[in-house]
């Protein structure tokens, strides 16, 4: 019988040679023992090196419309159903968003994501401003523009493409089999349909989720393979930061090693994807934050998150440079 280390090395060679992990193999991989985790991370990083090189894609976000969301996502501080004390406001003035984009570029980000709370874009004035902002930021700031806007119509997707959006962000949050435990006001199927509308319009989709919601290890594997089936090549991975007032406020935190093993599994399943460490990394990975980049990740969200503070971007850039990595430049073609 093969040892755990022998299995990891065998699966690494399989992926490096163009093969694909099976779900059964991924379920075993994510259960790697603590004492073998450093080997797993090194192997995940070999896969990253082969398919993605040394560059790290940095992005920053702005919460352009905050709170008062009628959806019931149990992790979210912005749901109107929970008493979280989150700041609420309508769509920010365009010039304020432009200035935030300039700060993001100066800090080193290659892309800037406009995020709006709420199920969809029913307000035509807000959506027109979003289209205008995409054009203005590309022209005036010279940074890629992404958007996270909830559910879109097909026509809205085409309009975003015409305006020059780089990527549409729409997380599936978790495995389809666990989704009903996360949200009841929309479904996993609706999420997948929204992604498909963006892809039909020719928009690249940034789609990932959150680990630590209460899902099983097997359901994390299920999520990774669901993303693979959806042909997603940009995957943000968040770790739950339990927000007081939300139904998930008392969820047990994951250990840093379990988080890193989960991240590594995503790299094995999605060897060519841009996999980004995002919300919750500071509070959950703590002193092992750099191990995410040394364990297969090639993207980092810098600056503040939607409703919580992040790191100083210069500290994150120093971290990736200390690891011998480079920053991706904006691509406006």
pLDDT at position 240 over 60: yes
pLDDT at position 110 over 70: yes
Average pLDDT, the chain: 94
Which of 174, 218, 176 is CA-nearest to residue 24? 218
Report whether 301 contacts 59 (CB < 8 A). yes
Do you know the residue count of the chain? 333
pLDDT at position 1 over 80: no
Lowest mean pLDDT among 31-40, 121-130, 146-155, 307-316: 307-316
The answer to whether the annotation marks 147 as part of a ligand binding site is no
N- to C-terminal Cα distance for the chain? 51
pLDDT digits (tens, 9 = 90+) for 292-307: 999 999 999 998 666 6
The answer to whether the annotation marks 69 as part of a ligand binding site is yes
Biggest CA-to-CA distance, the chain: 64
Question: Domain segments of the chain: what residues?
Answer: 22-326
Percent of the chain with pLDDT over 90: 86
The answer to whether the annotation marks 170 as part of a ligand binding site is no
The answer to whether the annotation marks 138 as part of a ligand binding site is no
Report whether 228 contacts 270 (CB < 8 A). yes
The answer to whether the annotation marks 76 as part of a ligand binding site is yes
pLDDT digits (tens, 9 = 90+) for 141-194: 999 999 999 999 999 999 999 999 999 999 999 999 999 999 999 999 999 999
Average pLDDT, integer, range 45-69: 94
Q: What is the pLDDT confidence band of residue 77, given thresholds at 50, 70 and 90?
A: very high
The answer to whether the annotation marks 206 as part of a ligand binding site is yes
Q: What is the pLDDT confidence band of residue 4, given thresholds at 50, 70 and 90?
A: confident
pLDDT digits (tens, 9 = 90+) for 195-231: 999 999 999 999 999 999 999 999 999 999 999 999 9
Report whether 248 contacts 213 (CB < 8 A). yes
**Which class is 22-326 in CATH?**
alpha beta
């Amino acid at each position: 019988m093969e040892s755990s280390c022998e299995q990891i090395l065998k699966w690494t060679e399989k992926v490096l040679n163009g093969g694909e992990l099976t779900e059964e193999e991924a379920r075993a991989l994510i259960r790697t023992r603590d004492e073998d985790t450093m080997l797993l991370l090194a192997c995940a990083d070999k896969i990253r090196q082969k398919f993605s090189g040394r560059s790290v894609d940095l992005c920053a976000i702005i919460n352009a419309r905050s709170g008062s969301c009628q959806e019931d996502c149990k992790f979210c501080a912005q749901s109107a159903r929970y008493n979280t004390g989150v700041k609420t406001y309508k769509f920010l003035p365009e010039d304020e968003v432009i200035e935030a984009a300039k700060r993001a570029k100066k800090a080193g980000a290659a892309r800037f994501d406009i995020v709006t709370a709420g199920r969809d874009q029913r307000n035509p004035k807000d959506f027109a401003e979003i289209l205008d902002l995409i054009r203005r930021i590309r022209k005036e700031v010279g940074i890629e523009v992404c958007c996270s806007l909830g559910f879109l119509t097909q026509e809205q997707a085409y309009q975003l493409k015409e305006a020059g959006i780089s990527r549409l962000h729409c997380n599936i949050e978790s495995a389809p089999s666990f989704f009903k435990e996360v949200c009841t006001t929309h479904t996993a199927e609706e999420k997948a349909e929204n992604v498909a509308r963006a892809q039909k319009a020719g928009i690249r989709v940034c789609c990932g989720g959150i680990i630590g919601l209460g899902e099983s290890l097997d359901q994390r594997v299920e999520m990774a393979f669901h993303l693979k089936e959806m042909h997603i090549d940009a995957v943000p991975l968040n770790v739950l930061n339990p927000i007081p007032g939300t139904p998930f406020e008392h969820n047990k935190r994951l250990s840093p090693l379990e988080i890193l093993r989960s991240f590594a599994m995503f790299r094995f399943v999605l060897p060519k994807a841009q996999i980004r460490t995002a919300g919750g990394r500071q509070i959950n990975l703590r002193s092992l934050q750099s191990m995410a980049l040394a364990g297969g990740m090639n993207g980092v969200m810098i600056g503040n998150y939607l409703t919580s503070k992040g790191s100083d971007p210069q500290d994150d850039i120093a971290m990736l440079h200390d690891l011998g990595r480079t920053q991706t430049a904006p691509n406006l073609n």
